[in-house]
Amino acid sequence: MKKLNTRSIRKRKTNPEAKKLQMLTCYDFQTANVLNTTELDLILVGDSVGNVVLGYDTTVEVSLAEMKIFSAAVKRGAPDKFVVADLPFGSYATYTSAIENSISLFQSTKVEALKLEGANEENYKIIKRLTEIGIPVMGHIGLMPQSVHSQGGYYKHGKHLEDKIRLQKEALELEAAGCFAIVLECVEASLAKEITAQINIPTIGIGSGVDCDGQVLVINDLLGMTENKPKFVTPVANLFQVKKELISKYLQ
Ligand code: KIV
């Protein structure tokens, strides 16, 4: 399969024949090796690494140094895939630090793009500048795990009119700022569908219904490795149990 780039990713939205974009998270070299041999379109080194690999309570604890280690490992394992790395909490709090930290993460890991959460005037400026200097940016709105404390927990977004209008405006502004795609996390399915129709860049949904231009899942949830998986995921295996059984068999 030909490696995607920002142009071919955008084209998938406009081609009615094209398959929806499929993105999975990945955090290590060996899993990246496996994904590299599949038809997967995009890999996300999500800051969900904090929850599923490092055992943190929230993604707020993930540092830039950690994102560099995991992103570089994944990129080494999946040279033929378009890899997106998350900018972690606090690393893009100010314009200057955002530009410096983004260059550092992008250059040291060799990933193809970065993702940041939230839509506000400061983020639009950051996205515009990063895009200008050659760093593609994926946006992320709706449920934003880095803002779990200010958003007041994890829940569905876009249920109320005010919220709905705000999310639509944010998606349009992120597109105008230069994002090549936007993650819609836990956004009401009907609203995710509307946003997808309103913007010209692909939307990649997670817990946001089936009408986005693509879907992203945390690989550990998909493979049944996490005990508290989100309701919207149908695991394809129960690797937690499989590993347990294999190790127990070895221990006999
Ligand atoms: O960190 C992550 O895994 C993510 C996805 C849930 C989109 O941001």
CATH number for the domain spanning 128: value is 3.20.20.60
The answer to whether position 198 is within a domain reads: yes
Compute, in angstroms, the gap from residue 85 CA to the centroid of ligand 1: 10
Number of folded domains in the chain?
A: 2
The answer to whether residue 39 sits within a structural domain is yes
Ligand 1 centroid to Cα of residue 132, in Å, is 25
C-alpha dist (Å) from residue 150 to 118, 143, 185, 248: 12, 11, 16, 43
Whether 197 and 123 map to the same domain: the answer is: yes
The answer to whether position 101 is within a domain reads yes
State the average pLDDT over residues 205-212: 98
Which positions are catalytic? 185
Radius of gyration, CA atoms only, the chain:
18
Q: Residue 81: which residues within 8 A CB-CB, separation 6 or more?
A: 3, 4, 32, 35, 36, 40, 41, 42, 43
236 and 138 within one domain: no
Dist CA 237 CA 242 (whole Å): 9
Alpha helices in the chain (DSSP H): 6-14, 29-36, 49-52, 64-77, 95-109, 121-133, 148-151, 161-177, 189-198, 219-222, 239-251
Question: 40 with 72, same domain?
Answer: yes
pLDDT band at 194 (very low <50, low <70, confident <90, very high): very high
Judge if 139 and 247 occupy the same domain: no
Same domain, 102 and 201: yes
Average pLDDT, the chain: 97
Q: Does 36 map to a domain?
A: yes
CB 219 within 8 A of CB 26: yes
Query: Is 86 touching ligand 1 by the criterion CB < 6 Å?
Result: yes
* Whether 19 and 130 share a structural domain: yes
Query: Over the stretch 88-136, which tens digit does the pLDDT of each residue have?
Result: 999 999 999 999 999 999 999 999 999 999 999 999 999 999 999 999 9
pLDDT(229) > 90: no
229 and 181 part of one domain: no
181 and 240 in a single domain? The answer is no
C-alpha of residue 50 to centroid of ligand 1, in Å? 11
Residues 49 and 114 in one domain: yes
Tell me the two tokens of residue 238: 């129960």
Cα 184–186–190 angle (5° rounding)? 80
Whole-number pLDDT of residue 197:
98
Answer yes or no: is the C-beta of 218 below 6 A from any ligand 1 atom. yes
As a whole number of angstroms, the longest Cα–Cα distance in the chain is: 60
The predicted model scores a pTM of 0.97
Whether the per-residue pLDDT at 226 is higher than 90: the answer is no
pLDDT band at 219 (very low <50, low <70, confident <90, very high): very high
Could you list the residue range(s) of the whole structural domain that residue 122 is in? 6-217
**Does 71 reside within a domain?**
yes
Q: Classify residue 1: in a domain, yes or no.
A: no
The residue whose C-alpha atom lies closest to atom 3 belonging to ligand 1 is: 46
Structural contact between residues 63 and 54, judged by C-beta atoms closer than 8 angstroms: no
Q: Whose CA is nearest to atom 5 of ligand 1?
A: 46
Q: Using the predicted structure, report yes or no on whether residue 232 has a pLDDT greater than 90.
A: yes
Structure confidence by residue, pLDDT tens digits, 65-94: 999 999 999 999 999 999 999 999 999 999
191 and 236 belong to one structural domain: no
137 is a domain residue:
yes
Within 8 A by CB and 6+ apart from 37, the residues are: none
**Measured CA angle at 208 (ends 164, 58), to 5 deg:** 95
Closest approach atom of ligand 1 to CA 115 = 8
Q: Both 14 and 115 in a single domain?
A: yes
Q: Phi and psi (nearest 5°) for 110?
A: 70, 20
Which pLDDT score is estimated for 228? Answer: 81
Q: Which atom of ligand 1 is nearest to the CA of 46?
A: 1
Q: Which 8-state DSSP code applies to residue 214?
A: E
Looking at the fold, whether 234 and 194 belong to one and the same domain comes out as no
In a domain, 200, yes or no: yes
